Structure 1
Amino acid sequence: MAKILCVCISKERKTCSQNIHECEADLQGLVGDVHYGMGGRKQVSLLPYEKVKEYFEQSEEEFRYGRFGENLLVEGINWNSIAEGNRFRCGGVLLEAVRIGAGGPASDAYKGEKVCTPMEPWFVFCQILEAGRLREGEIILQQR
């Protein structure tokens, strides 16, 4: 069963995010996050715990939530099965995957920074379709 391990926000772009444990998610994004109210569809970023854990096991860094600027660290989803258009029900919040992966060779969005880069292929960006509160420990139901 998939669940949210942490809920994080960033106050500045291209920085690590801070685990705040729960957050209001409305149709503008995550309240308090640097991307809140900026328009666009990439309002919430998800990362797989399994890949983040693997990164920390292979590096000398100490494990910490929000290290890659993610909003939600998620455990138990088959990341290879996610496609754009998939939806995720997290309590009262409904998210829709709008982009798989960040940056990459065709983009210089993260050029030269080291926050997101190690996890670029694993980011799933979502739009909030139904508002509510996101909380640590919340079960996630994937809908295709």
Structure 2
Amino acid sequence: MGKILATNISEIKGVQKRNVHSVKLIEEHGIEHDAHAGKWHRQVSLLSYDRIEEFKAKGAQVNDGDFGENLIVQGIDFRTLPLGTKFLCNDVILELTQIGKECHHGCEIFQLMGDCIMPREGVFARVLKGGTISEGDEMSILSSPARLFI
């Protein structure tokens, strides 16, 4: 079980997001008023609070939304989950579509720290069912595809 600690948006791409404390998610679109919403597989970005805290312990001075993440969730380690995992938060259903991403070449965090966690820790999802998510809400794993081990 996870807990939503921050809900972040930005109206334009390429800038840090700001915490708005509650967001409306629109089915097959993303977060209302967020620049990354649209008909694609990266409608919502999620980052584990625990990974952010580990990064801060290395001296990083980062705030909610600085990695470009929409949702900060405590208690779920997203990097360990397979694509296709579904999450439930209130009425909202999200489906994990991508793990990590290529970091911007001019990423301010990477320039300051020599590292950035979003490329390996951040995950992306699409909105299967819309609704509202606010700080303090609980998020659970609704279903997870079986992993194949070779």
TM-score range, shorter chain: 0.7 to 0.9
In structure 1, the residue corresponding to 2:46 is in which secondary structure?
strand
Aligned to 2:82: 83
2:35 aligned partner: 34
How far 1:79 sits from its partner (Å)?
Answer: 3.0
**Percent sequence identity over aligned pairs:** 31
Cα distance in 1, alignment partners of residues 79 and 124 from structure 2:
15
Residues in 2 aligned to 1:80 and 1:40: alpha-carbon distance in whole angstroms: 21
Question: Is 1:113–2:112 an aligned residue pair?
Answer: no
Structure-1-length-normalised TM-score: 0.87
Q: What is the aligned length?
A: 137
Q: Does 1:72 align with 2:71?
A: yes
Separation in 1, partners of 2:75, 2:100: 18
Instruction: State the Cα distance separating 1:41 from its structure 2 match.
Output: 1.5
- Which 4+ residue blocks in structure 1 deviate beyond 3 angstroms? none
> Shift in Å at residue 112 of structure 1?
2.5
Amino acid at match of 1:45: S
Question: Compared with structure 1, are the counterparts of its residues 79 and 36 closer, same or farther at alpha carbon in structure 2 (3 Å cutoff)?
Answer: closer
Aligned to 2:95: 96
What does residue 2 of structure 2 align with?
A: 2
Letter in 2 for 1:29: G
Q: Which runs of 5+ in 2 are unaligned?
A: 145-150
Contact 2:37 2:44 in 1 (8 A): no
